[in-house]
Amino acid sequence: MTRVQMIGVSKRYPGRGKGAAQVVAVDDVSIDVASGEIHAIIGYSGAGKSTLLRLVNGLERASSGRILVGDDEITSLPEARLRAVRGRIGMIFQQFNLFHSKRVSKNVEYPLVVAGVSPAERKRRVAELLDFVGLGDKAEAYTDQLSGGQKQRVGIARALATNPGVLLADEATSALDPQTSQEVLALLKRVNDEFGITIILITHEMEVVRGIADRVTVMDGGRAVEQGGVFDVFSSPQTTTTRRFVSSALPTEPQAEHLEQLRERHRGRLVTLTFRDGDVDQPVVFRTLAERGVGVSIVHGGVTDVGGRSFGKLTLELIGDDLRVEHAIAALAQETDLEVLV
């Protein structure tokens, strides 16, 4: 079981070209990843995610701040010791980073050879790992004969070979189609459930976060701008960056142009209700409307699953005479998170 602590971590690069300002790729970031947690780091391209991951596995040195992986302080270990610690940090990549001219079994065996494990033990371990990732029958295939999803399974088997306490995933599903992505995510979830391995994954895909992460950090311009449980962060985003991410994957209220189209087709009042798991009772909403003689059509939005809880935004057209609709809106506003659109 391995906890990962990043404490006030920064990474500055010299500017390119004479007199150019230095680049602050990671700016005073603190993330405390509990052992056994799946922590997602999301952000747009250039936010500093990959740099942060390279600092965690010691491929690059932080300019300031501290990083601890278990009891090992990555930021102060000499290079020779770092190599041993890296054996306890598995890594998987968007482009898989496999040896294409080698057989699947040789790819998975590689870190065991580097670690000096005996041939008999290597053979046993490779067979066990390939069974775990569902590729028991592909040991002798060459990796370039495999599909993308199979290649990533080999990548995962290889990353697990030395029994790491932490797995770092760098856009691990971004090169895969949605169905294959889901399969690889399910496999990562099994890695976490069955072995208690802490997983830190960086991604720009909301589906990844929504599907398997426990907690999330949102990065923007090198800084961690928002952090918390996936449900809490996504159901009440505090920053523009997070709101933009959320709107790409979760139901939203209709945006300006769409609202105009809705307005043309629906003459009643339009309201958006936000449902956060547990705090609004949907039957109460519909009963309140029925009791006040107000008709309702759902015109936009939906309810979806976020971190195992439900979240939704529904835009309703309220139909009835003006006074009844006003009363219904007043009653709903007492019980729900309600926004009157028009």
Instruction: Name the one range near ligand ADP by CB under 6 A: 30-38, 43-51, 68-76, 318-326.
Output: 43-51
Number of other CB atoms surrounding residue 339 within 10 Å = 14
Question: Whole-number minimum distance, CB 63 to ligand ADP, in Å?
Answer: 12
For ligand ADP, the closer CB: 72 or 220: 220
Q: Is 295 in the site for ligand ADP (CB under 6 A)?
A: no
b/e string for 96-112 if b means 16 or more Cβ within 10 A?
Answer: bebeeeebbbbbbbbbb
Counting other chains too, the contacts that 84-88 makes at CB distance below 8 Å and 24 or more residues apart are 85/58, 86/57, 86/58, 87/111, 87/114, 87/115, 87/162, 87/164, 88/2, 88/162, 88/163, 88/164, 88/165, 88/166
Q: Is 22 in the site for ligand ADP (CB under 6 A)?
A: no
Instruction: Name the one range near ligand ADP by CB under 6 A: 42-50, 117-125, 244-252, 263-271.
Output: 42-50
Question: Whole-number minimum distance, CB 301 to ligand ADP, in Å?
Answer: 30
Q: Is 45 in the site for ligand ADP (CB under 6 A)?
A: yes
By CB under 6 A, what part of segment 1-20 binds ligand ADP? 13
- Asked if 75 contacts 11 with a C-beta cutoff of 8 angstroms, the reply is no
d(CA 319, CA 267): 8
Binding mask 178-217 for ligand ADP (x = CB under 6 A): ----------------------------------------
Question: Whole-number minimum distance, CB 49 to ligand ADP, in Å?
Answer: 4
Cα torsion 74, 75, 77, 79 to 10°: value is 90
Distances 53 to 60, 87, 167, 257 between C-alpha atoms, Å: 9, 15, 11, 39
User: Of 10, 51, 241, 288, which one interacts with ligand ADP (CB under 6 A)?
Assistant: 51
User: Of 28, 32, 46, 324, which one interacts with ligand ADP (CB under 6 A)?
Assistant: 46
d(CA 208, CA 311): 16
Instruction: Name the one range near ligand ADP by CB under 6 A: 46-54, 185-193, 270-278, 314-322.
Output: 46-54
User: Of 7, 23, 77, 280, which one interacts with ligand ADP (CB under 6 A)?
Assistant: 23
Q: Is 49 in the site for ligand ADP (CB under 6 A)?
A: yes
Q: Is 225 in the site for ligand ADP (CB under 6 A)?
A: no
User: Of 9, 47, 218, 250, which one interacts with ligand ADP (CB under 6 A)?
Assistant: 47
User: Of 43, 164, 165, 307, which one interacts with ligand ADP (CB under 6 A)?
Assistant: 43
User: Of 5, 30, 35, 50, which one interacts with ligand ADP (CB under 6 A)?
Assistant: 50
The burial class, CB within 10 Å (0-12 / 13-18 / 19+), for 16 is exposed
- Asked if 202 contacts 35 with a C-beta cutoff of 8 angstroms, the reply is no
- Asked if 180 contacts 150 with a C-beta cutoff of 8 angstroms, the reply is no
Instruction: Name the one range near ligand ADP by CB under 6 A: 38-46, 187-195, 230-238, 280-288.
Output: 38-46
Question: Whole-number minimum distance, CB 175 to ligand ADP, in Å?
Answer: 15
Question: Whole-number minimum distance, CB 38 to ligand ADP, in Å?
Answer: 19
Provide the binding-site residues for ligand ADP, judged by CB under 6 A: 13, 23, 25, 43, 45-51
